[in-house]
Structures are given as C-alpha cells and as structure tokens.
Amino acid sequence: MSRINRHNYEEFYLDYIEANLNAEDSAELLLFLENQSDLKAELEGFELITLDANEKISIDFSDLKKEITPLNAEDFIIGSIEGQLTKNDEKELALVISKNEGLKKLATRYSNTILPKSIIEFTEKFKLKKKAGILVFMTPLRRFAAVGLLLIALIPFFTRETTVHLSDNKKPIGDAIADSSLTLQKDSIPSELFLEKSSAVIIEEPKFIAQQVKPASLSITKNESAVTHHESLEENKTQPRLQIESLKPKKFEKFLIIKPEDALAVSKVEIPITSKPKELLAKAETEPQTAGEWLNQNIRKKLFKNSEAKGGKIQGNELLASATTLLQQKTNANVAFTHRASISSTSYSFTLGKFSFSKTKNN
C-alpha cells in the first residue's frame, strides 16, 4: 500500500526536489502524481529557490560609526545637554561645533531648551498636613453606652412639641388672665383626653377679682360640647378662692383662683368628660412631657432593674432596643433597631434619622 497520499505528498515532494528521497520512494511519488493530475499540474511549476550565501551586498555603515560629524552633530548635542556623552565625545563635539557657525547656534538653542528651575509654591500645604489626633479606646459596651447617652441627649430634638395657649385671642382678656395664663403642652396629655376637655387655670394672689372677663376664643377645642364644671369655694370663704371653669368654645365665664404654691398641683387637674375619667387622669399625670423625660423616668428604671435581675450587667443592645421601641411610640422620629443572630455571627444595626451604625460580631 502506498504511503503517499494527498495529506503528506508535500513532504515527499520536498525531499524529492532536494534529492533526499531514495529511488523507491521517488518512484512511488511519481506514480502518485501521475494518478493525481491536479497535484501534478501544481507541482510542475515549483522550483526550489535557494539563497546565495556568496552574494555580496555593499552597505555604507559610516552613519553607524560614533564619529561626530556636522550631519550627526545634533544627536550628540542633545546627548551632551542630557549628560550622556563621555569626556572624549564632549571634546570631539566641541571641536566640530567650533568649526561650524550653524552648529554653534544649534547648540545654543538646545542649551536653552533646558527648563529653568522656576519656583512655584503650593500655598495650601497646611491643608495637606495631618495633625495628631486624640485616640479614645472604648470597649464595645462603652460604645453602646456612649451612643445611648447621645441618643438620650438628642431625643428632645426629635420630639414633637406643640405649645398651645389656652388663650389664642390676641386681645387681652383681663390683666389677671394675661399675667397668669398657663400653657399646656400637647404631648403631655393623652390625645383622647386633650380633645375632649379643656380648662383655664388662673393663678392669683388671694384677692377678689372684680373685673369681668371678656369672651375669648379657644383654638385647641373642636366642636365638642363643652361641659361646665363648677367647683364652689363657698365652703371655705377664708381660703383663697378656687374657681375652675371649663372653657366653652367661645368664652370664659369663671376662673379658677388658687394659691401660687398650689399652682403645680392645680395645673395637673383636668376635667375629663369621657367615660373613664379616672384612668385618663392617671395617665395624664404619669405621662411625661417629652420622650426624653419619659426615658429618664421609666425606661432606665425598668431596663436597669430588669437587667440587674438577670445578672447585673446592662447590655447596650438591650438599651438600644428599648430606646428604639419607646422612640417609635412616643416620637415621630425615624428610628429602627435590628438584631440578627445566627450560628456564626451576631449583627446589630441602629438608625436614628440620618444617623446609623451597625456592628457584626463573629460568634
């Protein structure tokens, strides 16, 4: 079987034309080509091209020589100002330049291309320098505590305080009222109680008021029917008169007159008209005016008490969780606290308005 086929015939043919093929393979190749007319036609024009190693080519290598001439002096001038020439080259170059006026000008121009040491000062170095900072090392518990204290301090700024004056009339309704009218803070009263009751409290020295009070409008009341609650002081006429007048929608008719020392106590007396007045009153008395006060009064006591019962240590995340819950209930601030615990890690994140932080701890 013939070893020559269409896939390897080039290899045999190359050996054939280089006379490296033996007689047997040569005969086999010629026989193969006889049967493959297209390949035979292709190879008929093929001639072995060889390079003549004795061919002589004349090239002028004078440009490659390191001789300084007027033609290549420019390169050496640049090399000179770059400090790349040897002493001998410098001498040779100087000699060539001295004989040619054009090269002298060229050398002068090149020497002028060296940039002068201009002084440009960066005047804002002080902004770049770093001053030594104070490093405060805090344990995680202290960090939580610090954040908690910060939140407590910030809470008043996030609470919604609306001061409502009982007398919304610009006109004075009497010197006594104008001098001694008290204000109620809306947040200090449960909303349901706030909408259903109103009162005017006037503090005055124990003397009789003869001046008639002019009608005054009341802005905090709605269309609810005002209920008048009279509390007669006629039982003890020797004491300062105490008059409590529930405010009608449009005018005052009577006044509550109490001692100054009783002002604080009286200020908390409300006149409920709901079906559960006692509960609401009790709630109003215990309700703090701000979330911060509420925290001071309740959360810290409860939280610390509970924690002490557990083991005596206050956990920062507990404080934050409780603070978050209360802030969400008592304020309209954007507050969130998440605690995720898995087998491998525990993570906390806390958000208060635009302030947020998170911590992940590997278990």
Q: Interface with other proteins by CB under 8 A: which residues? A: 74-75, 78, 81-82, 106, 109-110, 112-122, 124-125, 127-130, 132
| Cβ 77 to other proteins shortest distance, Å | 9
For other proteins, the closer of residues 117 and 171 by Cβ is 117
Q: CA 344 → CA 263, 339, 357, distances in Å?
A: 59, 14, 21
Shortest gap between Cβ of 78 and other proteins (angstroms)? 5
Closest distance between other proteins and the C-beta of residue 147, in Å? Answer: 27
**Closer CB to other proteins, 104 or 340, in the complex:** 104
Instruction: Output 81 or 321, the one with its CB closest to other proteins.
Output: 81
Output 116 or 311, the one with its CB closest to other proteins.
116
Instruction: State the minimum distance, in angstroms, from the CB of residue 136 to other proteins.
Output: 18
**Residue 302 Cβ vs other proteins, minimum distance, rounded to whole Å:** 46
Nearest of 333, 229, 318, 329 to residue 273 by alpha carbon:
229
Which amino acid is it at 201? V
Amino acid letter, residue 287: E
Cβ proximity to other proteins: between 76 and 350 the closer is: 76
